[in-house]
Chains A and B, each alone.
Chain A
Amino acid sequence: MSTFMRVVWIVTLPVIALLISVLFLGLFRKITARIQRRYGPPVYQPVIDLTKLLTQHSNISHGVMFDMGLIIALAGSVVTVLLIPAGGIHPLSSSGDLLVIIYVMLIPVLGMALAAGDSGNPNASLGVSRKLILGLGYEVPFLLVLLTVMTHGETTSLVNVVQMQADSILSWGVFRFPLSAIATFLILPVMLGIHPFDIVGAPQEISSGPQVEFGGKYLALATIEQALQLFIVIALFVDLFLGGAANLGTFFLKMLGVFLIGIFIGAVYPRFRIDQALRYCWKWPTLFALAGLILVMIIGG
């Protein structure tokens, strides 16, 4: 990749990711509505919402961290998008491997947590506390899965992991380590924070949690950040188990497939309690991930 193309992709990839993830948000609402036998909002409803929020006449702020936290979170999400290979495009991936991605993914979480904490609302703090506890829940199987993949390939580079799956469909991660793929799929809704694991922003219990004081442009940026998280998690799944893709189109289709299955599960469930979610994460997904790792250790690379 020439330097010029690299710069071009660095600029365009976040924009594409943003468009895709906003589209996903719209699809999410539309499909959920159709599953619940509603007509549902138009697919471009998130665009309307974001426009409204960004152009809103008045905003309130609770302090410096309230502003900065969001900006840090958004910047962290954008960098994560750049580090994850998406359909053969990986403009920044030589600057960071999977380990870096794990840690860069912490920046948005902490940024949002700081912004929420500065709002001075216990609902927000509760939401953050739930988010971090939930993180403790899903990180256990997720890290085991990542270690399985990295140990198997004897590499920490996500680009290499994708390349290894390029040969045929049978070399996809989902066929090489099916147990790990199952484990990841089981925790996918937890990572995405959709039903039945939308504990963090539970509107009925803690008034949408970390976002309780966000309105106007704050909510807009938070929504964008969440949408990018959607993109990141699904893209990571596609890269790890569905063989990445040779071009953006295929990549998008694969992401769409994973996303649709996620919605179909999410749309019909109520919400778990936080301790139920924690126990869930530490039971079956961890068991599968552990079995997958041991299998890879025994069979070898």
Chain B
Amino acid sequence: MIMVSILLIAFVGAGGTCLVGRGNPRFRGLVASLVAFLPLIILAFLYGRVISIDYASVPFLDIGLSLRLTPLSWFFGIAIAALGGLAIVFSISYMQGKERLNYYYSMMLLVNASMLGIVLSGDFLSFYIFWEIMSWSTYLLISYRGKQALGAGLKYIIMSIIGSSAMLLAIGSLYISYGTLEIPSLATALQGASAWYALFVLLMFTIAFGIKNAILPLHTWLPDAHSEAVSPFSAILSGILVRMGLYGLFLLMFSVLGLNTLNRLSYGAISFNLVLSWVGALTILFPIFIAVLQDDAKRLIAWSSIGHGGYMILGIGVATTLGIAGGLFHALNYAICVALLFLAVGAVEYRTGTRDLNKLGGLMKRMPITFTGALIGSMGLIGIPLTNGFISKWLIYKTLILSRYPFLAFAALIGTWGTVLYGYKLVHNVFLGQLPEQYKEIEEVPWTMRVPMIVLSGFVVLFGVLPGIPLKAISVIQTHLGMTRLETSLFGMPKAIGELNTLNIFFALLVAGLIAYAAFSASRRSRRVSQYDNYAAGARVPVGGYQHSVRFYDQADRIIRPYLRDRIDDFYGWIATQSTAFFEQLRKIYTGNINTYATWIVLFVAVLIFMGLLGWRI
């Protein structure tokens, strides 16, 4: 009952917010935040419990629809509800004065509700239904801004439909083969399936989930969609919505098929997991360096979003205890960090009206909290020790090295240096350097926008210093799925797994920092000078032009850019133009002349008869 109530609150609340907004727009933000945070509170009390209920049945298919709460769905559910709520709170000021707000809020809540539905569904039919609700409401939100956003939304929904079709095919075939779509009963049924059939199901689902999670050949919708969506929604989109693909893949691989079946899917040295890991590694390598070349802040984060999806795929691809824990943990960490970055960029856009990395600079002095948020977010992405990103990356590297996949580990490790490049570029070009004259007077964003950033920054550091908190939840997932669970303490790993003690590093850094600070403040105090009192080879600083941000990594840019063209996108574009041309030609059979149509029909029937004569069965 409690699970139905979660979904009821979420779905009814989405509609209700719209009604409230029509009645009295002042309460709209408040109601929306309440609706967004209620599921979080309910879910928080359900920690570690496994509940499963049937809520409806489909008589003509003879199957029931059920909801199922497992530690896995709890883990993702909490992330969805928390991020969704923070994004809504951020929206209150960010969206103020924009058009069609009722539509915006109800769509945001609908996306949240459908995501909750996905993680809570206990059978694949409910899963599919919620999946479709999510896809379509996402489409509506991406194209909310109109103009270019329409194109981005179209690209998204076309790829999404292809994925959904693949998933529907697999679900249909599962239903025909086993007569049930319940996840637990499928899990037992599929143990006896042939390897080819399992591979077919897995591949079909991988296409659907891969498109959502933007793994390498299926990623092209993401950069456009992320940069065109409004910032709070970008945070949800990039933080948690694309990770629904990861959730689905994880559910299928480890909950439905199980490790035994996965291990059977191999041909010689090549196994499904190895291929998946390599896809993950390539997904890290290329997008992260493409992100370095971007000049649009949101596009940069969008590409990084694809790249970091690769870490998670890599983690669950190697399918060791550490790898799975690392992959799941990285999904959470990345969600936090990237939401933080999108909100920070949104805050900058809110105040300055631009997110072009070549036009900003020096905003740190005007927007210190936004700067701190962006800095901590970037640090988390890079994986600086004492941020959460470090722990998950550490787990993934560790397992890759010990399982003797040094090349995969290399792809992941060098991806970090790419992250350093674009993370610093983002922070520098927006917040450091000289403050342009036209932004001299801007202020920090309002409190409703600050709070989500502060909360998210807090979690980045909290999970970085005390990684045991989320890792405990992950080890509960592993226990639930019957895998070896990851032994962790609150602040690091036991000796058996490896040397990591974040608390010691934290205190060492703290003490070293304090000593450095003491040495710093023991010597003469420094005098603050204006940004125009600066070394310019003996000249006065030219106002407004003394900044290095355009083509920040020019020298490397020239060398690596030729290798980083998104040829896959070009290829899809080519297919699109070719098929447009083809259908243009095909359209010509519609002449508008009834005689022509009659001819076509007669010809078609003739062909059918002819085939019948030849003895073909259709």
Are A and B a genuine interacting pair, yes or no? Answer: yes
Which residues of chain A have a CB within 8 Å of any CB of chain B?
10, 14, 54-65, 67, 70-72, 74-76, 78-79, 82, 92-97, 99-100, 102-104, 106-107, 109-110, 113-114, 117-123, 125-126, 128-130, 132-133, 135-136, 139-140, 143-144, 147-148, 150-151, 154, 156-157, 207, 212-213, 216-218, 220-221, 273-275, 278-279, 293, 297
**Residue B527 interfacial (CB < 8 Å):** yes
CA distance A150 to B520 in the complex (A): 38
Chain A residues within an 8 Å CB radius of B424:
110, 113, 117, 128, 132
Given A95-B500, A96-B501, also A143-B526 (CB < 8 A) = no
Distance between A275 CB and nearest chain B CB, rounded to angstroms: 5
Given A58-B524, A59-B526, A130-B555, also A151-B537 (CB < 8 A) = no
Chain A residues within an 8 Å CB radius of B588:
none
- 396-428 of chain B: CB within 8 A of chain A: 397-398, 401-402, 404, 406-407, 409-410, 413-414, 416-418, 420-421, 424, 427-428
**Residue B165 interfacial (CB < 8 Å):** no
Q: A221-B519, A274-B555 are in contact. List 11 more A-B contacts (CB 8 A).
A: A65-B364, A94-B495, A103-B383, A106-B384, A114-B375, A120-B362, A156-B498, A157-B499, A213-B534, A216-B524, A293-B407
Pick from A57, A74, A117, A129: contact of B524, CB under 8 Å = A57
Chain A residues within an 8 Å CB radius of B321:
none
Q: Is the CB of A97 within 8 A of B534?
A: no
**Residue B382 interfacial (CB < 8 Å):** yes
Pick from B525, B528, B548: contact of A126, CB under 8 Å = B548
CA distance A190 to B406 in the complex (A): 24
Chain A residues within an 8 Å CB radius of B523:
54-56, 59, 216-217, 220
Which of A57, A60, A121, A218 has most B Cβ within 10 Å?
A121
Distance between A89 CB and nearest chain B CB, rounded to angstroms: 15
CA distance A156 to B397 in the complex (A): 10
Q: Is the CB of B552 within 8 A of A129?
A: yes
Chain A residues within an 8 Å CB radius of B558:
275
**Residue B516 interfacial (CB < 8 Å):** yes
CA distance A59 to B509 in the complex (A): 26
Chain A residue nearest in CB terms to B292: A136
Chain B residues within an 8 Å CB radius of A150:
401, 406
Pick from A79, A106, A148: contact of B509, CB under 8 Å = A79
* Interchain pairs with CB closer than 8 A, number: 242
Which residues of chain B have a CB within 8 Å of any CB of chain A?
362, 364-365, 368, 375, 379, 382-385, 390, 393-394, 397-398, 401-402, 404, 406-407, 409-410, 413-414, 416-418, 420-421, 424, 427-428, 432-435, 492, 495, 498-501, 504-505, 508-510, 512-513, 515-517, 519-520, 523-529, 531, 533-537, 546-549, 552-556, 558-559
Q: Is the CB of B432 within 8 A of A114?
A: yes
Q: Is the CB of A114 within 8 A of B401?
A: no
Chain B residues within an 8 Å CB radius of A143:
410, 413-414
Given A79-B505, A120-B546, also A61-B526 (CB < 8 A) = yes
Given A70-B520, A123-B535, also A135-B499 (CB < 8 A) = no
Given A110-B384, A110-B420, A157-B498, also A151-B534 (CB < 8 A) = no
